[in-house]
Amino acid sequence: MALRMETESDSLTIWLSGELDHHSARRMREEIDAAVERIKPSRLRLNFADVGFMDSSGIGLIMGRFRLMQLYGGTLEVAGASERIRKVIRLAGLDRLNVLKESGEDLSAKDDSGVPHAGR
């Protein structure tokens, strides 16, 4: 199953879906990394709105992508996470990385920062 992706200027948004566990994380990770390496966005947005379940494998996936984006001088955002998924994310202290966007926040529509990324 291919993940839905969308690029807009130098942002890449990827919608994850289904259950995110150790079994499914591997394939998702490979797809995300292939897209990031191809597109080299300055911002990667992972949308979790269609993820019905996530365990700590999801934390590993987020942390790994955070590092990957740092490598490219880019940033990572996590959007659309349900209260349930946010609970796991907070447990990991990932909220301190400032990647978590409010679930009500519309991330797909517009980018109001208007600041081009320094690394590009």
Partner 1 sequence: MKPLNEIKLNFPSRSANEGFARAAVAAFVSQLDPAVDELADIRTAVSEAVTNCIVHAYPDTIGTVYLTVRLFADGKISIKIRDKGCGIADVKQAMEPLFTTGGEERSGLGFSVMESFTDKLRVSSKKGKGTVVTLEKYIALRESAPSAAKPL
By CB under 8 A, residue 88 contacts partner 1: yes
Task: List CB contacts of 74: < 8 A, sequence separation 6 or more.
Answer: 40, 41, 42, 43, 44, 117, 119
By CB under 8 A, residue 76 contacts partner 1: no
Residues 2/13, Cβ–Cβ less than 8 Å: no
Which residue is it, tokens 């994380």? 25
Residue choice 10, 64, 66, 72 for contact with partner 1 (CB under 8 A): 64
- Local structure of 30: helix, strand or coil: helix
By CB under 8 A, residue 27 contacts partner 1: no
Q: Of the two residues 51 and 107, which places its CB atom closer to partner 1 in the complex? A: 51
Which residues form the interface with partner 1 (CB under 8 A)? 19, 21-23, 25, 29, 53, 55-57, 59-61, 63-64, 67, 84, 88, 91-92
